[in-house]
Copies of this chain bind each other. A is one copy, B any other.
Amino acid sequence: MKDRSLERYHHGELKEELIRLGRVAIERDGIASLSLRALAAEAGVSKTAPYRHFPDRDAFLVALANEGFRLLAQELERVLAEGGAVPAMGRAYMAFASAHPALYRLMHSELLANAAPAQLTEARRSMQLLGESLARAGGWKLGADGEAGRRFANEAAAAWGYIHGLVMLRIDRLFPAWLPEPDWEGLAERLTAHSAPRASTRRKKAARPTH
């Protein structure tokens, strides 16, 4: 039995502290090598204590991801409040991912694809923000049905895919080293070109003029 004479039996904020420690740990060691036991030790608590707050390791990772979405939404909301348009959103998105690469990766990992939607309330919020911003800039209606809704879904997927891919390329350092380093921030701002329904693009769908 350890000497816990100076420590409280109940931590009191274990759940929150585990999330905090987890965020640091994944950025330092990578997501794959995150260990609940090690985290418990860091928090000065027994090896199975985390299981009182999370059913299993995957559930903890989902909670971590959700925290990430909360932080991202917070950032995006701040930009929106400052009157930022779509390019500013792109910049903020890129900045968030660069500042928390492992967290961003986790937020878009395989795990989340099958996670229960109820656990990812914050995820929906941040995506709604992005979607609304894109819709406003492009003059689309968010809840539109039929053809209009389908067209908006396409434009949203194009814009989101663009910024998401750009960000992943950067944080995973996948861009070939034998080429000059791209201007990531500038490219992120170009999000506008993808969200707004450009005449050229729409015509191309029908007639495909280039090449």
How many copies of this kind of chain does the complex include?
2
Whether the Cβ atoms of B153 and A164 lie closer than 8 Å is no
Does A112 lie at the interface of the complex (its beta carbon under 8 Å from any beta carbon of B)? yes
Does A131 lie at the interface of the complex (its beta carbon under 8 Å from any beta carbon of B)? yes
Question: In the complex, which residues of chain B have a beta carbon less than 8 angstroms from the beta carbon of A162?
Answer: 158, 161-162, 165-166, 194
Q: How many A residues face the partner with a CB closer than 8 A? A: 64
Main secondary structure of the interface of A (DSSP, over half): helix
Within 8 A of B (CB), among A156-211: 156-158, 160-169, 172-176, 179-187, 189-190, 192-194, 196, 198, 200-201, 204-205, 208, 210-211
Question: In the complex, which residues of chain B have a beta carbon less than 8 angstroms from the beta carbon of A111?
Answer: 32
Whether the Cβ atoms of B182 and A153 lie closer than 8 Å is yes
Contact of A173 among B113, B131, B149, B158 (CB under 8 A): B113
